[in-house]
Amino acid sequence: MTHLEIIQQRDAIAACIDRQQIAQAIEKLSQLAAPAPDASLRERLEQVKMSYDFMLRYLSQGVLDPQRDDVLSHIVNELSLLADQCVVALLERESTEVIYARRRELVNTELGSLLGQYRTLVNKTSLLLSVDAAQRDHEALLQLTHQRERQETTIFNKIWSSFPTTHGDAELIEQFLADETMPLPARCLMVMALFLGLMKFYDQTKLTLLIDAYATSHDAEVQLRAIIAVLLAINSYRKRVAQSRGLQRHIDAMTEVPTFVDDVAMVMYRLISTRNTDRITQQVTQEIIPDIIKASPDLMRKLRDRSADIDPDELEGNPEWQQILEDNGVAAKMEQFSQLQQEGGDVHISMFSRLKSFPFFQTLSNWFLPYHSGHSVVQESFGDDEKLMRDMIAQAPFLCNSDRYSFCLTLRSMPESQRRMIVSQTHQQMEGIAELEAEQVIEQRNQRRDTIATRCVQDLYRFFKLFSRRSEFLAAMDTEMDFTALPYLSGYTDAPDTLLVIAEFYLKNEFDNDAVKYFERLLATQNQTDPIVLQKLGFAHERLGNTREALKQYKRYELANDDDLWTLRHIASCYRALHKPEKALEYYERIDHIKPNQVSTTLNMGHALLESGRIEEALQYYFKADLMDDTKHRAWRPIAWCSFLLGNDERALDYYNRIINGSKPTMSDYMNRGHVHMCSHRIADAIADYRQAHVMASDDGTALREALLADLPHLRARGICDQDTWLVVDAAVQVQGPLTLNP
């Protein structure tokens, strides 16, 4: 069997299990296990088959078996596990995938031996550090650091590539994670190794270890990595987790952690927020940065004109220079960038994605490595006199761990002069950060867990999007990431406060289908409906084009708040979209009563009257709106159109001339003026306007013809036959050369 055929057969087995077609799953698994070199797999499959046969016999004999569900669950779990083990057995000898390369490399290496060697290296390091700083052997320390890091990578590879995790290895991992004398980065890496293994094959033991790591650890770094991994794993393997017995006890212990509820809500939000990363990246790379670059030459020219000797660090304090930034649009773009950062947006991935080509990132474990100043990359990037630079990177508030290492590697590759310049430029900024930290210690404590979670999620996002071998792993962050109704956790992931935060995120970022789903779930969980949820649900439906459903929710909200102008406007808009202009007019009149003499309301009342066929009345409202709106003249177009419909071609032509000569005319403006000329029997003028409309459409004439098709009833009402209309259109589109216009 080829690699693809093996995977397809495994997937077919999983599909049979999902459909509860156990006999078919056993048959397909027999075919998969037949060529496997490990005979024990076929022996275990035979035992599973016997168990299923016995269960069927008891069933056919009418025997009541109270343990049937447990037996069936065991059979299903064993079939799924055997299918995965068959895949490993068939592929690990020759496959080029990284997991099989690591398995072949470490086949004779025991995890216990690796951990023992690592502890020895840690103890040696502690011994060298126990002497005074002036007497330390820094070369020996750096050598030990390299050895320790290589050992961490080997341990990482052994854990994630081992499948399934043995009971003995599980005990060793549990002991190591609980040992707070071991370096925190190593324990964090161990957590991520368990997660990465789960992204290749479902392993209940690995999931249990992650759950227990969250429940028992006292380190926020370990805890939050563990809960992120747990949520992603359970979301990715919903059905298999639901069938897994024995998880409930571990999950119960996890839920006893005082911060559990807040952590789950926070992590869910951070994971779901990654769905907005592509949009933010596009906004940064295609809008913000290009606009700043475009404004830069003019900005620098103006700055040079104002002062021959400007210190850029003083720009913020000089109102005149700040005004230059604002006039050039740079300040607005920088504010936009800052706002995206403050909201937790991943604004740096577009810049740092280009810095993942260093050999450092060819090592799989380094994508998950927490940033710490003791790492050899940091030590070798900065000299003893560059502590400031180390501190700057460590305190950079918006950089994830992966990007910090990218920054270090970039600086290390720079010429010395450039490095010195960057250190000098950041000195004042670092002083500002230090002052801010001193003032906001309490706030930082409250935000620390969120910061850790955000950085970890961003590290994971970079791995799943940028790692060269990412396609070999389950794409956990490409899924819908719907964390509601998770097995064993639905009571926490469906909490009303959590649902509301996620629904608000989706609504704000225009993921309206998801917003509808979460708002509806929120309504289903609340004993008393919050009216504001109805309003927002209606808005999501309206943006999706579900006008009737939007109107339904707006009307429900109206029962609680009958004078909310925003809702009244949207109800009126829905009625217009549903071709009920008389109902829309009722709401516009209510709006006008609450807040009279508003141009937009007056215009909309005119629109509703026009759509009702009450053209004369509509025209009076448009004239009123134009008097109130004496600068923008938003009523000119509807005044011109109503005048045309009423046969007042002189007034219609006057207003269309104003529009075309005094603003930015559209294709419709030229076409409508052409209608006026047609009805006034100025055919050459009509052809000229239709030709200009055709030119603006930039097509083969389809847009003009489709637009005219909608207006045919109005032209007929003015006595223009269809044949004349189409002849004039063809003359505008087909005939080339200048036209002689009537005087």
Contact predicate 15/23, CB 8 Å: no
Could you say which of 222, 254, 276 is where a domain stops?
Answer: 276
Q: Enter the tokens of residue 260.
A: 């559990």
What is the band of 329 on the pLDDT scale with cuts at 50, 70, 90? low
Cα separation, 143 vs 412, whole angstroms: 19
The pLDDT score that the predictor gives to residue 228 is 97
Neighbours of 167 (CB within 10 A): 8
The pLDDT score that the predictor gives to residue 243 is 87
The pLDDT score that the predictor gives to residue 317 is 46
Contact predicate 622/635, CB 8 Å: yes
Could you say which of 581, 599, 623 is where a domain stops?
Answer: 623
Cα separation, 540 vs 518, whole angstroms: 11
Q: Enter the tokens of residue 742.
A: 């009537």
Contact predicate 86/36, CB 8 Å: yes
Where residue 633 falls (left for φ over 0; alpha for ψ -120 to 50; beta otherwise) is: left
Cα separation, 24 vs 393, whole angstroms: 57
Do 508 and 603 reside in the same domain of the chain?
A: no
pLDDT of 386 strictly over 90: no
pLDDT tens readout for residues 55-78: 999 889 888 888 888 899 999 999
151 or 477, greater pLDDT: 151
Specify if 481 maps to a domain.
no
Cα separation, 282 vs 247, whole angstroms: 41
Neighbours of 568 (CB within 10 A): 22
Contact predicate 221/213, CB 8 Å: no
Specify if 488 maps to a domain.
no
The pLDDT score that the predictor gives to residue 331 is 53
The pLDDT score that the predictor gives to residue 283 is 65
Do 269 and 287 reside in the same domain of the chain?
A: no
Do 188 and 243 reside in the same domain of the chain?
A: yes
Residues above pLDDT 90, as percent of the chain: 68
Cα separation, 54 vs 59, whole angstroms: 9
pLDDT tens readout for residues 574-611: 999 999 999 999 999 999 999 999 999 999 999 999 99
The pLDDT score that the predictor gives to residue 682 is 94
Do 402 and 330 reside in the same domain of the chain?
A: yes
Please state the φ and ψ torsions of residue 66, each to the nearest 5 degrees.
Answer: -65, -15
Q: Enter the tokens of residue 720.
A: 């223009």
Do 391 and 527 reside in the same domain of the chain?
A: no
* Among 446-450, 563-567, 569-573, the least confident range: 446-450
Q: Which amino acid is at 436?
A: L
Residues above pLDDT 70, as percent of the chain: 85
Specify if 252 maps to a domain.
yes
Do 465 and 381 reside in the same domain of the chain?
A: yes
Specify if 475 maps to a domain.
no
The pLDDT score that the predictor gives to residue 291 is 60
pLDDT of 310 strictly over 60: no
pLDDT of 304 strictly over 90: no
CATH number for position 584: 1.25.40.10
pLDDT tens readout for residues 144-181: 999 999 999 999 999 999 999 999 999 999 999 999 99
Q: How many domains does the chain have?
A: 6
Average pLDDT over residues 676-690: 94
Do 536 and 582 reside in the same domain of the chain?
A: no
pLDDT tens readout for residues 76-86: 999 999 999 99
Closest CA to 208 of 248, 238, 243, 169: 248
Q: Which residues form the domain of 33?
A: 3-91
Q: Which amino acid is at 244?
A: S
Specify if 487 maps to a domain.
no
Cα separation, 515 vs 527, whole angstroms: 20
Do 52 and 81 reside in the same domain of the chain?
A: yes
Contact predicate 400/454, CB 8 Å: yes
Closest CA to 18 of 243, 204, 172, 199: 243
Do 429 and 503 reside in the same domain of the chain?
A: no
* Cis peptide, bond prior to residue 258, ω within 30 of zero: no
Cα separation, 432 vs 429, whole angstroms: 5
Do 123 and 263 reside in the same domain of the chain?
A: yes
Do 63 and 149 reside in the same domain of the chain?
A: no
Specify if 477 maps to a domain.
no
Contact predicate 27/84, CB 8 Å: no
Specify if 602 maps to a domain.
yes
pLDDT tens readout for residues 207-258: 999 999 999 999 999 999 999 999 999 999 999 999 888 899 999 999 999 9
CATH number for position 733: 1.25.40
Do 252 and 116 reside in the same domain of the chain?
A: yes
The pLDDT score that the predictor gives to residue 382 is 80
Specify if 480 maps to a domain.
no
Q: Is the pTM of this model over 0.95?
A: no
Contact predicate 498/268, CB 8 Å: yes
